[in-house]
Structure 1
Amino acid sequence: MGGLYPTRHGNGWPDGWLPLLTMSNNALMNFSDEALERIIEIRDQEPGEDEYGLLIEITGVQGLQFGYSLSFVPLDEAEPSDHVERHGDLAVVIPAADTGNMTGARLAMSSNPMTPGLAIDNPNNPSPDIPDFDAGDLTGPIAERVQQVLEHQVNPAIAAHGGQASLVGEENGVVYLQMGGGCQGCGMAAMTLRQGIERILREAIPEIVEIVDITDHQSGENPYYAASHAHSH
């Protein structure tokens, strides 16, 4: 995710009431030197004598990535439960609810000229919102055609790479696929799903609104596919 810029933020604690903040010695995130320098430069433009921290919040989900908000907050307005860590001269505030999903994330300057600013590279991905399926979810016209395309076109094409795709369910044009097989580290894995399976399914079944890969790519000895959450345009 790119194009992030921190803004002013306040929580509005009552006058005279200051929360007790604990500075953690265990950093959840890491920062590039360039990003850290840029953030401190922006922070130093804040008015007054208060010490401002960079508040990083997860605001939602965009595809299979988290959305973020970066803002400056006076440290005396942070929540007592917030995780606070220091990177050089910068205090970083992460809400308690987001700490698990921010562990290992890196904040750096975006390398994409179309999205200048700060970018967060996060190894944690949200789980797809998967509806509860029953047997009826595999009997609709779209589901039946997806089954046929997978059986006769997709799986024969990817079998040589040790992979296979199966339909978990379909709801309102959203197709949920489960990927399996080997070819660990295969360079064409992500491309196969994104450009191969998706293209075949969309060409054969124009009614498809969205394709969601629900495979848990963090587990198993031979994760085959990279996660995909592609939207039609």
Structure 2
Amino acid sequence: MSDFRVTDAAVGVVLDALADEGTTDALGLWVEVAGNDGTSFMYDVYFQELAQVDSEDLRLRFGELSVVIPRDSISRLAGATLEVGADGELAITNPNTPTPEATDLPDLGPEALANDLALRVNAILEEQVNPAIAAHGGYAELVGVVEERAYVLMGGGCQGCGLAAMTLSQGIATAIQDAVPEIIDVVDVTNHAAGNNPYYQPAKK
């Protein structure tokens, strides 16, 4: 993943900090995803001995600086940039976002995404639904199909949106059931309360 970048200014800040540690050869800068707040990733950035690099970790070189991205964080940091923010502190700009948290999921085995119905539903999401809702910054992701029910996650602008239920019932579900009539129900398993959309209002009980 050569598209992870470190700006020259950030390299300078890190090398200065390494010099304060008394060595620049034995230590590298680890950058990893530590979790998320529902809409964006949180990070750990720290020095560690380069001898600790695992064979599946990604090691990059920026001038005199070695940067290591642990294997579990590689895909989630694709295209990201480590830079110096306006406050002079290191900051990460990342085009990737977490997969929305799901709730009320049934027990799904690997066959839930590999069966014929799931493959047909996924094709509809990719070819029809996502191009349509991308204009609003949203997307829909198939979690699986079990007993003719399709379980869908809604992300981006759709997570936490007050119109999510309408998008599901009048858009996503209609498109899926028109193309795959065997599907008897389309279930939204997104945790919309974890979204960052100001228009979301929790359902009244």
What TM-score does the superposition give when structure 2 sets the normalisation length? 0.53
What is the root-mean-square deviation of aligned Cα atoms in Å? 3.5
What residue number does 1:118 align with?
90
What's the counterpart of residue 51 of structure 2? 76
Question: Taking structure 1 as reference, are residues 170 and 100 closer, same or farther at Cα in structure 2, changes over 3 Å only?
Answer: closer
Alignment of structure 1 residues 98-109 onto 2, 5 Å: 98-109=73-84
Conservation of the 8 A alpha-carbon contact between 2:18 and 2:24: no
Distance of 1:93 and 1:82 partners within structure 2: 7
Equivalent residue for 1:41, pick from 6, 10, 16: 16
Q: For residues 107 and 133 of structure 1, do their structure 2 counterparts lie closer, same or farther at Cα, with a shift above 3 Å needed?
A: same
Structure 2 distance, partners of 1:105, 1:81, is 19
Calculate percent identity across the aligned residue pairs.
Answer: 25
1:62 to 33, 37, 45: 37
The one-letter code matched in structure 1 to 2:42 is: G
Q: Which portions of structure 1, spanning 4 or more consecutive aligned residues, are displaced by more than 6 angstroms?
A: 168-171
Gaps of 5+ in 1: 1-25, 135-162, 178-192, 209-233
Selected match of 2:103 from 131, 153, 158: 131
- Contact 1:50 1:74 survives alignment (8 Å): no
Counterparts of 1:166 and 1:194, CA distance in 2: 11
The answer on whether the counterparts of 1:170 and 1:176 sit within 8 Å (CA) in structure 2 is no
Distance 1:175 1:52, change over 3 A: closer
- Counterpart amino acid of 2:83? A
**Partner secondary structure for residue 67 of structure 2:** strand
Q: Does the Cα contact within 8 Å between 2:38 and 2:194 map onto a contact in 1? A: no
Give per-residue Cα distances to partners, 1:188-214, cap 9 Å, x unaligned: xxxxx845x24xx37xx7x69xxxxxx
The answer to whether the aligner puts 1:165 opposite 2:137 as a matched pair is no
Offset from partner CA, 1:37-56 (integer Å, 9 cap, x none): 10111012223574211001
| Structure 2 residue 12 is the aligned partner of structure 1 residue 31 | no
User: 2: distance between equivalents of 1:86 and 1:63?
Assistant: 31
Preserved CA contact (<8 Å) 2:6 2:83: yes
Alignment partner of 1:44: what SS? helix
Q: Distance in 2 between matches of 1:94 and 1:59?
A: 12
Q: Deviations over 1:112-166 (max 9, x none)?
A: x4xx5111010011111111369xxxxxxxxxxxxxxxxxxxxxxxxxxxx9923
One-letter amino acid matched to 1:67: M
TM-score of the superposed pair, with normalisation by structure 1: 0.47
Taking the aligned partners of 1:81 and 1:170, their CA distance within structure 2 comes to 35
Mapping of residues 209-228 of structure 1, within 5 Å: none
Runs of 5+ unmatched residues, structure 2:
107-160, 169-186
Aligned residues: 131
Q: Which has the higher helix share?
A: 2
